[in-house]
Amino acid sequence: MELALQLAGSAVVAALYLGALRRIRRRGRPVPRRRVAAFAVGLAILVGAFAAPLEGRFSTHMLQHLMIGDLAPLFMVMGLNGPLLRPLLALRPVQRLRVLAHPFVSLPVWAANMIGWHIPSLYDAALMHGAVHALQHGMFFACGMLLWSALLEPIPGPRWFTPARKLFYVAGMWIVMLSLSQVFLWSSTQLYTGYSVSDQRAGGGVMLFEGSAVMIGVVVWLLLRLLEEKVEPLTLSGARR
């Protein structure tokens, strides 16, 4: 039942995206293929995480959660832009919730969600009850979408949130992932039912590796954007001469 619900939700997301693509193409404003490809990759990661049997060990379960809450949202947000999101943003409830994608809101909400679900009592509840597990996955995905939407800005964000300031945002993300991974890497007690200490440590390693790899990639992207901002004024200045 849990898997069917998650796959049905993924199918709805895919249908909405395809519908938005058709609407934009009819208006003569096709979405760049790289965006469509990114969204498809993100959706494939999401479905793969739901369908694959990854919950038997803490390390693979951690990989599943990172796929749902980090990698899939990252690629799916890369596949979005203003025209695609316009019908959704026109809805009043969504307009009221847009504040959740503000950098000062999205990062703390994501961090609280990530840490909260790894509290042993909540994590064990998700393992024992399918409905709680589905809620956990849904919240990982939703908070991941908010986190990456604030950073990648498929629609324009605050003017003050420049690439230089986004580096601090990414640093905050990395600190959360690093701190949580250290809990698992250095733990000498069994935190969760059915998972050994050695398995918990392996899960901490998975979180540390995935989080560090993603953060390094994002930092490189932001540094390149900073370089572009510095080069463009020099180019314009040279053209005026």
Q: Please provide the average confidence, as pLDDT, over all residues in the chain.
A: 91
Residue 238 has pLDDT above 80, yes or no: no
Instruction: Quote the pLDDT of residue 31.
Output: 86
Annotate 129-152 with DSSP letters as a single string.
-HHHHHHHHHHHHHHHHHHHHHHH
Whether this prediction's pTM lies above 0.85 is answered by yes
Share of the chain above pLDDT 90, in %: 74
* CA distances in angstroms from 205 to 20, 61, 94, 166, 185, listed in the order given: 39, 12, 37, 26, 7
Token duo for residue 136: 């956990």
* Region 66-83 average pLDDT: 96
Residue 77 neighbours by CB under 8 Å, 6+ apart: 42, 145, 148, 149, 152, 154
Residue 227 has pLDDT above 80, yes or no: yes
> Alpha-carbon dihedral of residues 223, 225, 228, 230, nearest 10 degrees?
-60
Neighbours of 10 (CB within 10 A): 19
Instruction: Quote the pLDDT of residue 100.
Output: 93
* Region 97-114 average pLDDT: 95
pLDDT in tens, 162-216: 999 999 999 999 999 999 999 999 989 999 988 999 999 999 999 999 999 999 9
Residue 230 has pLDDT above 80, yes or no: no
Name the band, by pLDDT with cuts 50, 70 and 90, for residue 25.
confident
Residue 233 has pLDDT above 70, yes or no: no
By residue count, the chain amounts to: 241
- Please identify which residue in the block is written with the tokens 């961090």: 111
